[in-house]
Amino acid sequence: MAILEREQMTKPLYQVVLATYNGSAYLEQQIVSILNQLGDGELLVHDDGSSDGTGDILQKWSHLDHRIRILDAPSYGNARANFSYLLSETTSPYVFLSDQDDIWLHNKIEELLRIIRNGESQYGSSVPILVHSDLVLVDGIGETIAPSMWRYQNLNPEWCQSLNLLLAQNVVVGCTTLVNRALIREALPIPSMATMHDHWLALVACISGRIFYTKKPTVLYRQHSGNAVGAKEISIVSRMRKMVELLSGKSYPEKQVREMGQMYATASALAAIYPAGEVGRKLRHFALLERCSTVERIKIIFSERFFMNGVISNITWILMPRKYAYRATIFLAAIFKRRNNA
């Protein structure tokens, strides 16, 4: 018993997981911003096969600071799988997620820890909890593009409280996220068909636990050409353009087609885990949007309130032609077949 107590005492209260891939241009700034507030925490890093000197930077900093631990594992090929692995290697009660090219504002750890511990005081540490925040959007040299990414992208953080809204539009940005041990146990492993790790964690927390947020930005989110997921300004003009292109029959970019298919696949994966009751029904109905007729699609979207934020976005979403969902299904099937044959 004494040995077990000593082991528990030596575990850090929180860990940060950092997924890297060819991030040498901005990585050191991010590491410094984390270490400056890490305290007695630990920074776990896994590099996904970089070829630009990222590995050398990580080795240098791990020798300079004992709180950095580099995990030796094969390349996973994408951020979702990399974060799934990193989270599986954590042991602390609380875990922060970090991208490689941002800058953490000085009070991020303190602020989000305060919120999640308040949440656990209300609902208990056995309840899965996720906390996230707004971001300041900056360019490659750190100049401010927008003081609030939520306003810039017209995202409403309240939507993460409703499964029907969160299925259609993710409002949780992974690099602002803090999760507790209960959520890690509930959410892992993140399946290969999930859209992104942050969306999966948010959906699981919405279904099985609680989500809290702060409007206070905790991250300088760097927008540059190498972003895995960038931040595009959402305006009436951009939405109108998207709707006109859709209704005129123009093809969507292949990346967007693939992401639509992954949204439905994510709902199907969740329905297998949570099949019962209202939650199971909503998940199955959302997955049906991929293959139902336009009339059935409209009926499901309105009856289940699978809405996006904004009138024009909803018109585009509701009238989405079936051929795009069909193309996404074929595309994903080909990917899964190649992986299974590998």
Within a 10 A sphere around the Cβ of 261, how many other Cβ atoms?
24
Q: Show the CA angle centred on residue 232, arms to residues 146 and 216, nearest 5°.
A: 40
Q: Can you tell me the distance from the alpha carbon of 31 to that of 29, in angstroms, rounded to the nearest whole number?
A: 6
pLDDT per residue rounded down to tens, the chain (342 residues): 444 444 455 789 999 999 999 999 999 999 999 999 999 999 999 999 999 999 999 999 999 999 999 999 999 999 999 999 999 999 999 999 999 999 999 999 999 999 999 999 999 999 999 999 999 999 988 899 999 999 998 899 999 999 999 999 999 999 999 999 999 999 999 999 898 999 999 999 999 999 999 999 999 999 865 554 555 555 555 555 655 555 555 555 566 667 778 899 999 999 999 999 999 999 999 999 988 888 999 999 999 999 988 777 787 788 765 544 444 434 444 444 454 455
Q: Alpha carbon 196 to chain centroid distance?
A: 5
Beta pairing partners, 179: 95, 130
Q: Token digits for 161?
A: 């409280």
Query: Can you give the pLDDT at residue 10?
Result: 74
Closest CA to 102 of 174, 172, 188, 46: 174
Q: Can you tell me the distance from the alpha carbon of 313 to that of 241, in angstroms, rounded to the nearest whole number?
A: 11
Burial class (CB in 10 A: 0-12, 13-18, 19+), 223: middle
Q: Show the CA angle centred on residue 53, arms to residues 52 and 55, nearest 5°.
A: 120
Q: Can you tell me the distance from the alpha carbon of 221 to that of 218, in angstroms, rounded to the nearest whole number?
A: 9
Closest CA to 198 of 207, 187, 185: 187
Beta pairing partners, 129: 210
Query: Can you give the pLDDT at residue 46?
Result: 98
Query: Can you give the pLDDT at residue 254?
Result: 60
Within a 10 A sphere around the Cβ of 150, how many other Cβ atoms?
19
For residues 131 and 51, the answer to whether their CB atoms sit within 8 Å is: no
Q: Can you tell me the distance from the alpha carbon of 243 to that of 70, in angstroms, rounded to the nearest whole number?
A: 46
Q: Can you tell me the distance from the alpha carbon of 240 to that of 312, in angstroms, rounded to the nearest whole number?
A: 7
Classify 187 as helix, strand or coil. Answer: helix
Query: Can you give the pLDDT at residue 54?
Result: 96
For residues 17 and 90, the answer to whether their CB atoms sit within 8 Å is: yes
Q: CA dihedral defined by 233, 97, 172, 279, rounded to 10 degrees?
A: 150
Query: Can you give the pLDDT at residue 226?
Result: 54
Using the structure block, give the residue that is written with the tokens 């859209």. 195
Q: Can you tell me the distance from the alpha carbon of 198 to that of 146, in angstroms, rounded to the nearest whole number?
A: 22
Strands (E), the chain: 14-20, 42-47, 68-70, 94-98, 103-104, 129-133, 136-138, 144-146, 178-180, 210-214, 219-222
In sequence order, the 6+-apart residues with CB closer than 8 A to the CB of 144 are 136, 137, 138
In this structure, what are the phi and psi dihedrals at residue 73, rounded to the nearest 5 degrees?
Answer: -155, 160
Query: Can you give the pLDDT at residue 2?
Result: 45
- Give the residue extent of every domain in the chain: 2-222, 236-341
Q: Which fold has domain 2-222?
A: Spore Coat Polysaccharide Biosynthesis Protein SpsA; Chain A (3.90.550)
Model pTM score: 0.84
Query: Can you give the pLDDT at residue 323?
Result: 47
Helices (H), 163-221: 163-168, 181-187, 197-208
Alpha-carbon separation of residue 324 from 228, 246, 253 (angstroms): 22, 10, 10
Classify 75 as helix, strand or coil. Answer: coil
Count the residues in the chain. Answer: 342
